[in-house]
Amino acid sequence: MKIEKNERLVLIGDSVTDCGRARPIGERGGLGSGYPALLNAMLSSRHPELAIRVTNMGVSGNTVRDLKARWQSDVLDLQPAWVSVMIGINDVWRQFDCPLQPETHVLPEEYHATLEALVRQTMPHVKGLLLVTPVYMDTNRQDPMRARRDEYAAIVRDIAARTGAALADPQPAFDRHFSHCHPMSMSWDYVHPDLTGHMMIADAIYQALEA
Amino acid sequence: MKIEKNERLVLIGDSVTDCGRARPIGERGGLGSGYPALLNAMLSSRHPELAIRVTNMGVSGNTVRDLKARWQSDVLDLQPAWVSVMIGINDVWRQFDCPLQPETHVLPEEYHATLEALVRQTMPHVKGLLLVTPVYMDTNRQDPMRARRDEYAAIVRDIAARTGAALADPQPAFDRHFSHCHPMSMSWDYVHPDLTGHMMIADAIYQALEA
Amino acid sequence: MKIEKNERLVLIGDSVTDCGRARPIGERGGLGSGYPALLNAMLSSRHPELAIRVTNMGVSGNTVRDLKARWQSDVLDLQPAWVSVMIGINDVWRQFDCPLQPETHVLPEEYHATLEALVRQTMPHVKGLLLVTPVYMDTNRQDPMRARRDEYAAIVRDIAARTGAALADPQPAFDRHFSHCHPMSMSWDYVHPDLTGHMMIADAIYQALEA
Amino acid sequence: MKIEKNERLVLIGDSVTDCGRARPIGERGGLGSGYPALLNAMLSSRHPELAIRVTNMGVSGNTVRDLKARWQSDVLDLQPAWVSVMIGINDVWRQFDCPLQPETHVLPEEYHATLEALVRQTMPHVKGLLLVTPVYMDTNRQDPMRARRDEYAAIVRDIAARTGAALADPQPAFDRHFSHCHPMSMSWDYVHPDLTGHMMIADAIYQALEA
Amino acid sequence: MKIEKNERLVLIGDSVTDCGRARPIGERGGLGSGYPALLNAMLSSRHPELAIRVTNMGVSGNTVRDLKARWQSDVLDLQPAWVSVMIGINDVWRQFDCPLQPETHVLPEEYHATLEALVRQTMPHVKGLLLVTPVYMDTNRQDPMRARRDEYAAIVRDIAARTGAALADPQPAFDRHFSHCHPMSMSWDYVHPDLTGHMMIADAIYQALEA
Amino acid sequence: MKIEKNERLVLIGDSVTDCGRARPIGERGGLGSGYPALLNAMLSSRHPELAIRVTNMGVSGNTVRDLKARWQSDVLDLQPAWVSVMIGINDVWRQFDCPLQPETHVLPEEYHATLEALVRQTMPHVKGLLLVTPVYMDTNRQDPMRARRDEYAAIVRDIAARTGAALADPQPAFDRHFSHCHPMSMSWDYVHPDLTGHMMIADAIYQALEA
Amino acid sequence: MKIEKNERLVLIGDSVTDCGRARPIGERGGLGSGYPALLNAMLSSRHPELAIRVTNMGVSGNTVRDLKARWQSDVLDLQPAWVSVMIGINDVWRQFDCPLQPETHVLPEEYHATLEALVRQTMPHVKGLLLVTPVYMDTNRQDPMRARRDEYAAIVRDIAARTGAALADPQPAFDRHFSHCHPMSMSWDYVHPDLTGHMMIADAIYQALEA
Amino acid sequence: MKIEKNERLVLIGDSVTDCGRARPIGERGGLGSGYPALLNAMLSSRHPELAIRVTNMGVSGNTVRDLKARWQSDVLDLQPAWVSVMIGINDVWRQFDCPLQPETHVLPEEYHATLEALVRQTMPHVKGLLLVTPVYMDTNRQDPMRARRDEYAAIVRDIAARTGAALADPQPAFDRHFSHCHPMSMSWDYVHPDLTGHMMIADAIYQALEA
């Protein structure tokens, strides 16, 4: 594992990360019901000797604009060795479900600039930083919201490439999965995965940490 | 109006009809928050002299198989002059969100036979019977669930044509609407409309009763 | 429509407007269950291309004195193109249901002065301002509270006439309606309409915006 | 007092009587918050030596048709010396607030026949039976619901006159009261009195028992 | 009546006065379920022309020490024409139910001095001030708590005599009542009356205001 | 101890025994918060080697008439080695707090006959049966309810003497206790003890089992 | 995988299986929060093409005696291809936490006979049956409850060996895990695992199905 | 008794002391359900003439670090004659159930220094100070958490010996108890006693105060 004995991993993001975690700090029994809890269980059951401390700091509804506002207290102050960031689906979604509320939209330029600034500000203080692309379950790439998600994912990949951050991209696993079943079998809103989807995200992050 | 003074209109269907109606009978303040309440308000405000009695008998989650089981008590026993039936989206949806629970699927043949039998059984007892096609908000006609919905809507139109039942088809209004905005602005699950969508359904039924 | 593409319409008033809207801002699914939600559904279903943003800022129990206290934050700060004001029934009602609490009474002089000041203060900042007369359902014009309501409605009409504000007067529609049924069929307290009454208010406002 | 030491008085009626009484029997701390509790407090504080047992058997929403259905268990089986019956306002009200639900209407003929039959069936088994006219607070005698209430009150007076039952008629006290204030100061729906109104009903019954 | 048209009467005290009144001001439907509500109903039903405004400012658990702390805001600021004070049973009770918590005890000297100071401070600002002796339902005058209550009641009478305040003493009515039944029939704790007891207190105050 | 290894002790009675025990059987963590739980803790902490099984079958509000109705299922069917019965305070209390509800009164003759019959029916099936006198905290022996309690306690002692049942009489401990403080310090209603009172009852029973 | 396309796997057991599953059938979003949900996510994410239907029928508090009582309805009637049974910790636990309630104890002989009978009754109707040994987290093998658990696990292994049922034994993984941390870090009661423990159980079952 | 008439005893500690006590001060009916309530009942029932005031200031989850933070307000400001301190099990437990959260661990050096400082700071202000060793119910002294508890208990004994504080050590009673039954019969987590365990703690403190 790239992550080593007694190190701390902070996971930050939106509702896909949050999943009912404890406040103010999500740890142990307060990791919520999503991929952070699964990742912790994978690390703890496969590598109990490493004693990795996993902390979930996701907040439902967040965009990258919200992450910026709480980055100091919710990431840097916790002094993690590793940080994982999965953000962007709300930045996209608000453009489609709240078209008349433009103050809720985080457009590509702001998304790109804000996320890259957070990454560059953080990397000197941590051993590793992992970017996770946002997931959207509509497999029709012509759907405007899916297309927009793909655009934001490309931004994430671009930032990772230029900053040297690690990258996890769970979307292909989802797309493959839906060659066997309709996305409605996982999620009525195409955004919030069931435990199978969270397992795919956790696997993607685990592999990125393992490589 | 085709519907006349002091007549009763019973609306039956699934959650799109139910919308929190009162039990056991949905009337007056207990019509729920969907198109039945809007239709009643339209009839009552535009034609107070007609004194139409609107009754909502929708039940969330119902398929046509469920309607059959409660048809006697929930439609015929109420002795309506007019009946409106909007059913089928759960018959379709379960095939996609519960692919491993085949006992929940109502396939086209069963849907066709059951709905037509209910119509034929009822028409001798009422002045008018209205069939409303189910609505699905994904505008991508290649999406398997949208394609399936279109197949079920064709069955509804076929039954109407062969039995002489009246027909209301709100789907085109939805499709036009989504040329101006993404379906996510109306519904996260593409099935349950907001009040704008219910207004479109109520308008379609009102016009069918008015013609 | 007088109201044009991408413009915002703020509706302010008392419980007849509020109807359980979301706080602090009532929009989209948080418009409540009254005429603001109906008006939004009418605008959105009939004119999706206009993308009108409807905002409900009603607060139950308010008099014009309360509107004045929150006018800056709840109307002007939202920068609407159009404002609709429906206020006065509590100004009247308290004089009859709380006769021993004179501090709760807003008498005609205060009502007139306060409402006119709000109108004159606002009109330079908006494209249109609509005044809606308060509704009371007792059809007996000799009833002291109905007579008082009529006096306040005359004040509203006078302000509209002298300031050039638009006017919607839903009371005649209610009076006509109650030639077919007793007001108890709509409301036990003669103040809070059912959905049929809200449809009549929404129709009156829609027509005023359409003319 | 006409009612004597250790005798039981059963009060039956609708929500004006019920007022949150205990089930199945309303006694002592379970008399509710209306005129039955006030009457009991008057009897107990002014005549503690009489030890009158007061029982409240009111049920909200009841019409005389409902009283008939539960008369054996809720009146006769309790073996009262005195019975007080205050019923009729729902018999009237449903004709005005539910005009489209005729199955809820108890028309004058049925009201007259049912109430008189209950009185005649009961008088041989009790020392005294008191009829209380229903109260409606609209002082406009031309209002159709007030006129209907006056018609039902005349039926009560007629039954009392022909059967020899005692009579209490609290309506004149309400009408006098509203020469000093508007009925809205007592009740938003003109049907359910506040404690001042219940005091007037209790006074009327007390006087009828005292004479 | 000593109290005249349009005057305000503020009733202050402990839980016997409070009885669940509304906060911050107990008026109209918020008078609670005790003697203040009964007194208001008596005044309003017998003298509607006087339009007396009754305000309940009782707070459960209060001693005279607590009244002093809130006298300005809860009595004087309300600018009443008449004030009624019923206080003392908690001053006494805490000496018996909390013998080990001496900080909760208000001994006779403090009680006397505090109450008299409140009376003398208030009389110049009001038309009338009424002192009501506290009630305790144990009829055994040798019981230490009953003896203590009698001592505090004597203080109340002494203050009334020396300051000219009006006096209401409901205890004799309770003692007479309990010659017909055991106090347990009114109250399990001998302190909180049922509605019969509240009627006796309201009668005593009414007579004091009427004389 | 009279009670021996692995034997079961069933405690039955009213609210003084019940104290919130679990249903249908009160054992282990479901013994409630009164003397049964204290007695179990005494037995278990002082004699863990005996492994006594303590079962609480008290039901709030019970009189001896209620015990009789559930004796088979709630005592005999549990096959206890020892039974403790503490009953009678409700038999007495209802005569004083519900004087007008004679159907709730269990008079001395019925109390005596019913309790003695239960004892005689049970003794052949158990190793020991313990009668506990009811407790009332008014120390004034002239108080009618205290006098009545003393009469019922005498009946309990008489039954014990004539049947050979064991006897525990906690009342003297209470009377001595109240020579140091007023009964209000233990209980506002003189019937339900605090934990100090329950300790005195548990001590009395423990001593009776120990002798 | 031994389990093949479109087959159903029913998991039955006690609270370790239950984990808040839906009633009456635990499937999809109603699989609870324990190893059944993890196993389903593993199967579904790694083998979406198999479309395995996982059903959780665990009931908290169950012993093998309880399984027997509901085996027909909760296992056989569901017609699974595979059955997994994890039972026994309550059979053991009650002997230690309820030593005085012998009716709650399922002793080794009954455990052995009942479980073997269920296995033999079921195997003819299924493709595979998997026995999972119960887990207890005290690593001190001299602890009487751990020793008892080991005895019951031996019974499970014996039944598997003699009937040909598959076997999963997660205990060794737990014991290894606790060489790195104290069992208190997983569970305060040494019986209910956290998600790390559930992951170890799911892994053990997955491997047994995979082999 | 060492503790004398009218003196106050403050008990402070963690959840074993807290047991649901009232806030902000736990007295009388607010002593909670643990050993403080039992100790108060013992003192009050055996020595009513002493009138000891027992105050429970336990707070669930506290370590000695938490006690230090609230010592002034929660101990010294209450001016007790006697103080009892039972603390340490959370200081130990967090090292085992939260191994990855070192900020929650109170290690022996900090425990020793903090507790001793509190004792030395307090003794000049009180008549007596009692130290109670923490209890842990695993009887296996090789268990790391039990061994750690024994180490902390030795610190408590050492502080008592060097400062002259009184000492109560309930652990031996627990160890003896569990020679007759498994600790699971008292507590699933080996930390929170049932009432039998609380009785053993109360007995130990009572004896220490009595000697």
pLDDT digits (tens, 9 = 90+) for D37-61: 999 999 999 999 999 999 999 999 9
Residue A136's nearest CA partner among A83, A85, A174, A82 is A174
Predicted TM-score (pTM) of this structure: 0.95
Please give the structure tokens belonging to residue G113. Answer: 């006979």
Active-site residue identified among D14, D84, D192, D198: D192
Checking if the pLDDT of D211 tops 80, the result is no
Which amino acid does the sequence have at H122? T
Write down the ipTM of this complex.
0.96
Mutate to test the interface with A, among H96, H97, H100 (most CBs of A within 10 A): H100
Question: Interior CA angle at F121 toward F120 and F122, to 5°?
Answer: 90
Q: Is E179 a catalytic residue?
A: no
Intervals of chain A under pLDDT 50 = none
Q: Output the DSSP codes for B82-111.
A: EEEEE--HHHHHHHHH-TT-GGG---HHHH
Checking if the pLDDT of H162 tops 90, the result is yes
- Asked if D143 lies within 8 A of C142 by C-beta distance, the reply is no
Taking the CA of residue F11 and the nearest CA in chain G, the distance in Å comes to: 16
Q: Is C147 helix (H, G, I), strand (E, B) or coil?
A: helix
Is the separation of the CB atoms in C2 and C211 below 8 Å? yes
- Asked if E184 lies within 8 A of F142 by C-beta distance, the reply is no
Residues of F in contact with D52 (CB under 8 A): 100
d(CA D65, CA D113): 10
Task: Check residue B64 and give its pLDDT.
Answer: 98
- Asked if G45 lies within 8 A of A180 by C-beta distance, the reply is no
Q: Output the DSSP codes for G130-161.
A: EEE--------TTSHHHHHHHHHHHHHHHHHH
Q: Output the DSSP codes for F44-63.
A: HHH-GGG--EEEE---TT--
Taking the CA of residue F175 and the nearest CA in chain D, the distance in Å comes to: 31
Counting Cα atoms < 13 Å in the Cβ hemisphere of D161 gives 6
Task: Check residue A211 and give its pLDDT.
Answer: 73
- Asked if A140 lies within 8 A of B140 by C-beta distance, the reply is yes
- What is the average per-residue pLDDT within H98-110? 97
pLDDT confidence tier of residue C91, bands split at 50, 70 and 90: very high
Question: Is the backbone of residue G19 left (phi > 0), alpha (psi -120 to 50) or beta?
Answer: left
Please give the structure tokens belonging to residue A131. Answer: 């970017």
Secondary structure tally for chain E: helices H, strands E:
8, 5
Task: Check residue E211 and give its pLDDT.
Answer: 73
Q: Is C187 a catalytic residue?
A: no
Task: Check residue C211 and give its pLDDT.
Answer: 73
d(CA G112, CA G120): 12
Chains that touch D (3 or more CB pairs under 8 A): B, C, E, F
- Asked if H27 lies within 8 A of E99 by C-beta distance, the reply is no
Task: Check residue B13 and give its pLDDT.
Answer: 98
Chain H residue at shortest CA distance from F36: H195
Asked if chain F contacts chain B via 3 or more Cβ pairs within 8 Å, the reply is no
Q: For the segment D9-31, what is each residue's pLDDT rounded down to a tens digit?
A: 999 999 999 999 999 999 999 99
Residue F82's nearest CA partner among F34, F19, F39 is F39
Q: Where are the beta strands (DSSP E) in G93-185?
A: 128-132, 166-168
DSSP F125: G
Specify the residue for token string 């002592």.
D28
Residues of G with CB under 8 A from a CB of F: 98-101
Task: Check residue G211 and give its pLDDT.
Answer: 73
Question: Is the backbone of residue C10 left (phi > 0), alpha (psi -120 to 50) or beta?
Answer: beta
Active-site residue identified among H15, H18, H91, H198: H15
- Asked if D51 lies within 8 A of F101 by C-beta distance, the reply is no
Torsion of CA B22, B24, B28, B32, to 10 degrees: 30
Task: Check residue D1 and give its pLDDT.
Answer: 87
Q: For the segment H33-48, what is each residue's pLDDT rounded down to a tens digit?
A: 999 999 999 999 999 9
Task: Give E84's strand partners.
Answer: E11, E130
Q: How far is CA C190 from CA A13, C111, C155, D56, in A?
A: 51, 21, 21, 31
- What is the average per-residue pLDDT within H59-77? 98
Chains that touch C (3 or more CB pairs under 8 A): A, B, D, E
Task: Check residue B136 and give its pLDDT.
Answer: 98
Radius of gyration for the alpha carbons in chain H, expressed in angstroms and rounded:
16
Task: Check residue F187 and give its pLDDT.
Answer: 97
Task: Check residue H211 and give its pLDDT.
Answer: 74
Which amino acid does the sequence have at H93? W
pLDDT confidence tier of residue G208, bands split at 50, 70 and 90: very high
Task: Check residue F211 and give its pLDDT.
Answer: 73
Taking the CA of residue H154 and the nearest CA in chain G, the distance in Å comes to: 22
Counting Cα atoms < 13 Å in the Cβ hemisphere of G93 gives 23
Task: Check residue B1 and give its pLDDT.
Answer: 87
Task: Check residue C203 and give its pLDDT.
Answer: 98
d(CA F37, CA F75): 18
d(CA G52, CA G4): 7
Task: Check residue G78 and give its pLDDT.
Answer: 98
d(CA B100, CA G28): 9
Chain F residue at shortest CA distance from E191: F188
Mutate to test the interface with F, among H19, H40, H44, H200 (most CBs of F within 10 A): H44
H64: Cβ–Cβ under 8 A, 6 or more apart, which residues? H87, H88, H91, H106, H110, H111, H114, H115, H118
Task: Check residue B211 and give its pLDDT.
Answer: 73
Task: Check residue H147 and give its pLDDT.
Answer: 98
Residue E48's nearest CA partner among C99, C178, D20, G187 is C99
**Intra-chain end-to-end CA distance of chain H, in Å:** 7
- What is the average per-residue pLDDT within G73-95? 98
Chain H residue at shortest CA distance from G139: H143
Taking the CA of residue D99 and the nearest CA in chain B, the distance in Å comes to: 8
Task: Check residue D70 and give its pLDDT.
Answer: 98
Task: Check residue E1 and give its pLDDT.
Answer: 87
Residues of F with CB under 8 A from a CB of H: 28-29, 31, 33, 37-38, 40-42, 44-45, 48-49, 51, 173, 176-177, 180-181, 194-200, 203
Q: For the segment G23-60, what is each residue's pLDDT rounded down to a tens digit?
A: 999 999 999 999 999 999 999 999 999 999 999 999 99
Residue G131's nearest CA partner among G151, G153, G113 is G153
Share of chain C above pLDDT 90, in %: 99
Q: Is A105 a catalytic residue?
A: no
Taking the CA of residue G139 and the nearest CA in chain H, the distance in Å comes to: 9
Q: For the segment C181-204, what is each residue's pLDDT rounded down to a tens digit?
A: 999 999 999 999 999 999 999 999
- Asked if B40 lies within 8 A of C196 by C-beta distance, the reply is yes
- Asked if C97 lies within 8 A of D142 by C-beta distance, the reply is no
Please give the structure tokens belonging to residue G202. Answer: 């799911």
d(CA B115, CA B163): 11
Active-site residue identified among E18, E66, E84, E192: E192
